[in-house]
Structure 1
Amino acid sequence: MSSVVQRVPAAASTAALAHFQARLGYETDCADVYYASNHESRDFVLLDVRTPTLFAAGHVPGAINLPTRMLCEQRLAEYPTDTLFVVYCAGPHCNGANKAAVKLAQLGRPVKEMIGGLTGWLDEGFGLERGG
């Protein structure tokens, strides 16, 4: 008898390749954001979509606070239309980043989610900025 892991067979390699490559078009991780921010030129805008109070208590360095409910074309007008936005919220228990990503996509803006959010950032051992 096979284990619970193997009871549902793994997808074919070609299907797995397509799936995992596609995911990278929708998400990035905390380590990549950290590396890009500290060792490369940041070619994206990092959006913390939590409330201003939570943002002020601690956020990823260099992030801009723009809560999901405030996302609109007027607020984004200063950015070229091809600007990549990387969104994050509190962490895996929060769907705020997903809601923000939907809104940005509806506005025709390129977007990726920083998986793990603030929880993932802290789990990686990275520091926070405070204030707003």
Structure 2
Amino acid sequence: MTDLDARLAYVDARLAYEIDAVAAHDAVAAGEVLLVDTRRLESWQHGHIAGAVHLPQSEIASGIESLPRDRTLVVYGWGPGCNGATATARVLLAAGLDVREMLGGFEYWVRNGFEVEGALSRQEPDPLVTAES
């Protein structure tokens, strides 16, 4: 395998595994995916994506059996600086579940102005990251 082939394979793998907030929003609306919030309880209570399920790392062992196996799970954490969703995705993938990781996490979901639940009030969309219509 050449260096170029290796780079292309890496990029192809990322594109197959990662999903951005806009595509995740569309997939949720189409009923294709279930969002899984991997953050700790205090973060979940502060605010989370509407319709998501809560599965913090500390509860993976006890909660994995309750996850559906008939659709893709999209895991998310706080944002680009958080790798908790990556760690959870690794466990879920190893257990045979179909998993993708949402780029930007909760931060970019909120910045796009998509619906959230919890104590966090809905914020105005950030014009620098929202998709143009």
What is residue 56 of structure 1 aligned with on the other side?
45
Percentage of matched positions with identical amino acids:
36
CA distance in 2, matches of 1:15, 1:77: 36
CA distance in 2, matches of 1:44, 1:127: 16
Name which one, 1 or 2, has greater alpha-carbon Rg: 1
What is residue 112 of structure 2 aligned with on the other side?
124
Return 5+ residue gaps in structure 2 as ranges: 120-133
Taking structure 1 as the reference length, the TM-score comes to: 0.75
1:23 matched to 2:14? The reply is: yes
String of CA shifts for 1:25-47, please: whole Å, max 9, x gaps.
21111001111223x1x222210
Specify which structure has the bigger relative contact order, considering alpha-carbon pairs within 8 angstroms and separated by 6 or more residues. 1
CA distance in 2, matches of 1:121, 1:99: 20
Residues 120, 80 of structure 1: CA spacing in aligned structure 2 closer, same or farther, 3 A cutoff?
closer
TM superposition outliers: structure 1 runs of 4+ over 4 Å: 14-17
1:103 matched to 2:94? The reply is: no
What is residue 26 of structure 2 aligned with on the other side?
35
Letter in 2 for 1:104: L
CA distance in 1, matches of 2:7, 2:67: 35
CA distance in 2, matches of 1:105, 1:120: 24
Taking structure 2 as the reference length, the TM-score comes to: 0.75
Aligned length: 117
